[in-house]
């Protein structure tokens, strides 16, 4: 297991947003977290990646306790979180956005704006081109990000995550606003990346599209894990019930 949580809890003014969540994320796989609105999925991801402080429990990454480390330290351990709302710098091109590091953008933003390409290491530039090719968006290399479709923006987000060399990529609703054909393409790329050594932890609502790609599924309800298993887990009565009740 690359990531494990033990009884992870997070309270908001008495509300148990996470109520003792224990999950295990197998290496080089796609682990999916589903559940109705407000069940705690985003809170879970935010707590694992250090954006929220846990009120109880433990997070282990590669066997190391990373509970409540600040986000930049968790990032350095090898976990990258892509955001629910893609936020590339709109006026910059795709390649410029890729060359912008996720952890410490300050100096590099200036370089990109000033077009100081020489300041980018040629190794990074080469890697960016390889990633664009792999993601089939190399025709957009010099396109301004504001001209990208929802799905293309998600691919750019994945590209940014790949630039970091993180082993675990955490995504919140990567298919929101993405047309079905491109959504499937994104997921096929995710699976290829799993085969190449990456691990994905994904929160997603579009079960009709994503379920067939999931290696492991956790279902949340009211801040707890109410079911886990393969894709057939959604047929369990307790899962149907939690969705109906929501
Ligand atoms: N920063 C916050 N402050 C107060 N309450 C919060 C905060 N973040 C989340 N909550 C509450 O915690 C509960 C779980 O919310 P969370 O966003 O984790 O659910 P979710 O499963 O991701 O929902 P959705 O699918 O709608 O994104 C909700 O009741 C929500 O209102």
ipTM exceeding cut-off 0.90 for this assembly: yes
**151 vs 124: CA distance, rounded Å:** 24
Tell me: do 33 and 72 sit in the same domain: yes
We report the CATH number of the domain holding residue 235 as 3.40.50.300
Tell me: do 170 and 83 sit in the same domain: yes
Question: What confidence score (pLDDT) does residue 177 get?
Answer: 83
Tell me: do 177 and 234 sit in the same domain: yes
The atom number, within ligand 1, closest to the CA of 220 reads 21
Tell me: do 141 and 47 sit in the same domain: no
157 found inside a domain:
no
Question: What confidence score (pLDDT) does residue 199 get?
Answer: 98
123 found inside a domain:
yes
Distance 164 CA to ligand 1 centre (A): 28
Q: How many domains does the chain have?
A: 2
Tell me: do 183 and 232 sit in the same domain: yes
Q: List for the chain the helix, strand, coil content (%; round to 5).
A: 40, 25, 35
Question: What confidence score (pLDDT) does residue 85 get?
Answer: 47
Tell me: do 182 and 226 sit in the same domain: yes
Give me the domain span that covers residue 224: 3-88+165-245
Alpha helices in the chain (DSSP H): 41-48, 71-77, 94-98, 106-113, 122-134, 150-163, 180-195, 207-210, 237-245
158 found inside a domain:
no
Tell me: do 82 and 111 sit in the same domain: no
Distance 42 CA to ligand 1 centre (A): 7
Q: Is 219 in the pocket of ligand 1 (CB under 6 A)?
A: no
Question: What confidence score (pLDDT) does residue 110 get?
Answer: 60
Tell me: do 83 and 196 sit in the same domain: yes
Tell me: do 19 and 56 sit in the same domain: yes
Which residue's alpha carbon is at the smallest distance from atom 30 of ligand 1? 38
Tell me: do 98 and 198 sit in the same domain: no
Question: What confidence score (pLDDT) does residue 30 get?
Answer: 98
Tell me: do 18 and 84 sit in the same domain: yes
Distance 143 CA to ligand 1 centre (A): 35
42 found inside a domain:
yes
Which residue's alpha carbon is at the smallest distance from atom 1 of ligand 1? 12
159 found inside a domain:
no
Distance 43 CA to ligand 1 centre (A): 6
Mean pLDDT in consecutive groups of 10 residues from the start of the chain, 246 residues = 98 94 98 96 96 97 97 92 68 87 58 58 86 94 93 90 92 90 93 96 95 97 96 93 83
- Cα atoms in the 13 Å half-sphere on the side-chain side of 128: 22
Q: Is 12 in the pocket of ligand 1 (CB under 6 A)?
A: yes
Tell me: do 82 and 94 sit in the same domain: no
Distance 36 CA to ligand 1 centre (A): 11
């Amino acid at each position: 297991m690359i990531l494990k949580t033990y009884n992870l809890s997070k309270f908001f003014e008495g509300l148990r947003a996470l109520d003792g969540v224990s999950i295990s994320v197998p290496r080089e796989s796609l682990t999916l977290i589903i559940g109705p609105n407000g069940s705690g999925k985003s809170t879970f991801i935010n707590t694992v990646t250090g954006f929220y402080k846990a009120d109880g429990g433990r997070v282990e990454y590669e066997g190391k306790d990373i509970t409540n480390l600040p986000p930049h330290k968790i990032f350095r351990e090898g976990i990258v979180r892509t955001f629910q709302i893609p936020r590339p710098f709109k006026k910059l091109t795709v390649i410029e956005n890729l060359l912008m590091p996720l952890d410490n953008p300050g100096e590099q933003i200036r370089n990109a704006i000033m077009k100081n390409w020489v300041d980018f290491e040629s190794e990074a530039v080469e890697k960016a081109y390889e990633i664009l090719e792999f993601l089939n968006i190399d025709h957009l290399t010099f396109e301004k990000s504001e001209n990208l479709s929802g799905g293309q923006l998600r691919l750019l987000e994945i590209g940014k995550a790949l630039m970091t060399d993180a082993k675990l990529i955490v995504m919140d609703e990567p298919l929101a606003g993405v047309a079905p054909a491109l959504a499937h393409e994104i997921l096929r790329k995710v699976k290829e990346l799993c085969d190449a050594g990456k691990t994905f932890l994904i929160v997603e609502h579009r079960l009709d599209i994503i379920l067939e790609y999931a290696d492991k599924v956790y279902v949340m309800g009211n801040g707890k894990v109410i079911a886990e298993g393969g894709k057939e887990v959604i047929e369990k009565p307790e899962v149907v019930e939690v969705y109906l009740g929501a």
